[in-house]
Every structure is written in structure tokens, then in C-alpha cells.
């Protein structure tokens, strides 16, 4: 199976409780399961039960902001993504490095695009 384009995608809400109340029945109907409950950090992630490597998330934050992560094949690609994004006018939101809070081998970088969306590249073997 080819690698998916996105590792995950999240939509931000001022009122996370209202968003969860709205999305919980929808994702259940779609066959998704709650796979990441970081409620204490303001994030809930949903995935297919068969382990499809993509996740939809809802998060506490600036309403209207989006977050998505491109799945890449190496740490070097994460670094190149970051350098390219900064050179293209992106603003730093996390230089390339391990993010062990998401997994022991989760290597990622984050930038804000011109509209303030949080864009990530992630390599997680």
C-alpha cells in the first residue's frame, strides 16, 4: 500500500467541548475510533480501526486554524521541508527534531503558513 499523503489533519476550535459533541457521532458513523485522547492538552484524534495511518483530529485553539502533517520518508525530508517552508515565507513553529510525546521515533518540524495554519512534516518509522 502506498504511503498516504497526510499523516493527520486537525481542525481548531475555541469551544472544544462543542466540537467534540458535534464530531463524536459523525466519526462514529464513519467507523472511526478515538485513537488519541490528549484532552488535557486539548486534542482528540480519530482513525480507522484497521490501523490506516491517517488521523482526523479536533483541537483547542484559534478557531478557523487548521493543522495538517505531510507524511515523509526520512528525517532528511523533514529537514528539507522545514528549510523550504522557511525560505518560502513560513514562520517557525518547531525546528526539526524528535517529538517523543507523540511516539518514540516521531521526527517532525512545524511551520505556520501565511494564513497562520500549522503545517508539519513527519517521519515516524
- pTM for this entry: 0.74
What does the pLDDT average to over 76-85?
94
Domain count, the chain: 1
pLDDT in tens, 88-106: 888 999 999 999 988 899 9
- Answer yes or no: is 92 within a domain: yes
CATH number of the domain that 60 lies in?
3.10.180.10
Q: Is the pLDDT of residue 13 over 70?
A: yes
Per-residue pLDDT reduced to its tens digit, 108-118: 999 998 888 89
- The pLDDT, as a whole number, for residue 51 is 64
Q: Which three cell numbers stand for residue 91?
A: 514562520
pLDDT at 85 over 90: yes
Q: How confident is the model at residue 25 (pLDDT cuts 50, 70, 90)?
A: confident
Q: Strand, coil or helix: what is 7?
A: strand
Within a 10 A sphere around the Cβ of 74, how many other Cβ atoms? Answer: 11
Range of 74's domain? 6-123
> Cβ–Cβ contacts within 10 Å for residue 122, how many?
22
**Within a domain: 1:** no
Query: Which cell is 17 given?
Result: 467541548
Which ranges of the chain does DSSP label H, i.e. alpha helix? 16-29, 75-87
Amino acid at each position: 500500500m502506498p504511503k498516504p499523503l497526510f499523516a493527520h489533519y486537525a481542525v481548531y476550535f475555541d469551544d472544544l467541548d462543542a466540537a467534540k459533541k458535534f464530531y463524536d457521532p459523525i466519526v462514529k458513523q464513519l467507523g472511526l475510533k478515538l485513537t488519541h485522547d490528549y484532552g488535557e492538552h486539548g486534542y482528540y484524534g480519530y482513525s480507522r480501526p484497521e490501523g490506516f495511518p491517517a488521523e482526523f483530529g479536533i483541537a483547542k485553539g484559534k478557531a478557523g486554524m487548521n493543522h495538517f502533517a505531510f507524511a515523509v520518508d526520512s528525517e532528511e525530508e523533514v529537514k528539507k521541508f522545514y528549510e523550504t517552508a522557511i525560505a518560502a515565507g513560513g514562520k517557525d513553529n518547531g525546528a526539526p527534531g524528535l517529538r517523543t510525546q507523540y511516539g518514540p521515533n516521531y521526527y517532525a518540524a512545524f511551520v505556520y503558513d501565511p494564513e497562520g495554519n500549522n503545517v508539519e512534516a513527519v517521519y515516524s518509522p
